[in-house]
Chain A
Amino acid sequence: MVAALGRWANRKARDLSYALGFFFQVISETVLFMRRKQVAFRVLVLQILFTGVEAMGIVSLVALSIGAVIIVEGGTILPRFGQTSLLYSILIVVITRELGPILTAFIIIARSGTAIATELGNMVVSHEIEAYMSVGINPISYLVVPRVLGVTISMMALTVYFNFFGLVGSFLVSQLVNPVPFGEYFRELLATITPTDILSTLLKSFLFGVITSVVATFQGFKVSLSVTEIPRAAIKAVGQGFVLCFIANALITVISYV
């Protein structure tokens, strides 16, 4: 029993040190990436295209739906308590501060996190990673860093996009339920939003981008021998990505507003 516990602790400690080593190598290679003449620049562009541009459709749809739901629910319930003016605060709190970053992260984890873990896992099994090493390419520099940068840039851009669409969506639906003049609606929103809200959203989206991409690439690289490990890597990329994003979200909210 004690021996088994010791082995488990030993394995966990090894895994943790491997993960930390991976993370620090990604950071150091990211710094170097900016300074080098990189053939990996194309990988970065493709990653932004896949993670950012191709996800715009689904992000628009989700943001519009959320905005619509808030305006309908808020427009129905708040007047009963004489608190109609709270609607703008609720829009900012729910869309900008909380749901915008976290739902965008969910969408990217589900789309790109799984894709990255699966792709890298396949590359490990088919020895493509070793082939990169054999020609003198550092896989962290060429495969991981562009994905981390691409996902993080896309996450930040899509979060801003989500917020914009969520607030626009709520305005469009409000025209059907309880029409508010365009100028008044956005003036109230701008009066409600604070610099802390904007900074908190940007910080969250940055951290979610880093978490999603590092977890997905790490899980992809953890595949060692068999293709049966690849679905497990994808599942872990999603599970760990969600959990870490939730924790980071709670921490930033507490730090920003308590």
Chain B
Amino acid sequence: MSEPPLIELREVTVTSGGYDALAEASASFPEGRSTVIMGPSGCGKSTLLKVAAGLVPPDRGRVLYSGEDLFGLSARRMHALRAASGFVFQDGALWENKSVFENLALPLQIHASSLARTDVEKKVARMLERGGLADSANLRPAQLSAGERKIVSFLRALMNEPSLVYLDEPTVSIDHVAAEKIGLMIRELKARGCSIVAVTHDSRLASTLADRMVVLSAGRVLAEGEFDAVKSNGDPRVRGILSQVLGEIASFDTDLLELLDTHEN
């Protein structure tokens, strides 16, 4: 018998403000693989990501974590899941009333409470060094640029060395340098076998990241599966969305990955 996927959504519906942000959406996210969720703006990608992360409960349908109901997990199991996962929000979602140091230290204080204060300080300093923000520990999020905020948000998600990471547009609305840094860290995560679920419009990031792909439109999953299979999907709606999302690239009848790799080099 095959292992159940790490995260599985079964006919999930989420209603928000009188309309269905997700409508009977089903998708699965296997362990150790990277799945990219794509679709036009406002189609429910972020909602799907948050449902998969257990942050937004569905109005109908089920979300399974290793075969168990995610929203029925015991407090202890949920705590363990949170320790093993990280979430990067589209707008950073940094805690504005805390310093950068406190933003990074809090996940450690929650999940590694036995760590001495000096160890926490060392680990935060190491992470800030990694993100190129070694001098920013005492700043407030409001004093950071958009790119720096995104990097801090990314570092916060990595504080507990998670094996599952959710990324909501990790490189959108930030400068090239910050996007490069985040892209590098995402590639490192992938290289060490971390399970990644990402929403992105960034074709370069998608090309280097995606093992699998989910295509969404108006809250419905149009296609889901291996990246190669989805990009060669014959459904004109899927091709239209990929073309729209990835720009001109996907509309060519060529290998998307090759083309994107060429762009990168």
Question: What is A's interface to B at a CB cutoff of 8 Å?
Answer: 37, 39, 119, 122, 126-128, 130-137, 225
Q: B181 an interface residue at 8 Å Cβ cutoff?
A: no
Name 13 A/B residue pairs within 8 A (Cβ), A-sorted. A39-B109, A39-B110, A126-B96, A127-B93, A128-B94, A130-B89, A131-B87, A132-B95, A134-B86, A134-B89, A136-B79, A136-B107, A137-B110
Q: Separation in Å of the B178 CB from the closest CB of chain A?
A: 19
Q: Are A136 and B78 closer than 8 Å at their CB atoms?
A: yes
Question: What is B's interface to A at a CB cutoff of 8 Å?
Answer: 17, 50, 53-55, 78-79, 82-83, 85-87, 89, 91, 93-97, 106-107, 109-111, 113, 156-157, 166
Residues of A within 8 A of B91 (CB): 126-127
Provide the bound-state CA to CA distance between A127 and B89, in Å.
8
Q: Are B79 and A39 closer than 8 Å at their CB atoms?
A: no
**Given A130-B50, A130-B55, are A135 and B107 also a contact pair (CB < 8 Å)?**
yes
Q: Are A135 and B55 closer than 8 Å at their CB atoms?
A: no
Provide the bound-state CA to CA distance between A122 and B141, in Å.
15
Provide the bound-state CA to CA distance between A137 and B95, in Å.
13
**Given A136-B78, A136-B82, are A128 and B93 also a contact pair (CB < 8 Å)?**
yes
Residues of B within 8 A of A134 (CB): 53, 55, 82, 85-87, 89, 157, 166
> Closest residue of chain A to B103, judged by CB?
A131
Residues of B within 8 A of A135 (CB): 82, 86, 106-107, 110-111, 156
Q: Are B83 and A131 closer than 8 Å at their CB atoms?
A: no
Interface pairs A-B: 4 shortest CB-CB: A136-B82, A134-B87, A127-B93, A131-B93
Q: Separation in Å of the B175 CB from the closest CB of chain A?
A: 21
Q: Separation in Å of the B67 CB from the closest CB of chain A?
A: 21
**Given A136-B78, A136-B82, A225-B17, are A131 and B110 also a contact pair (CB < 8 Å)?**
no
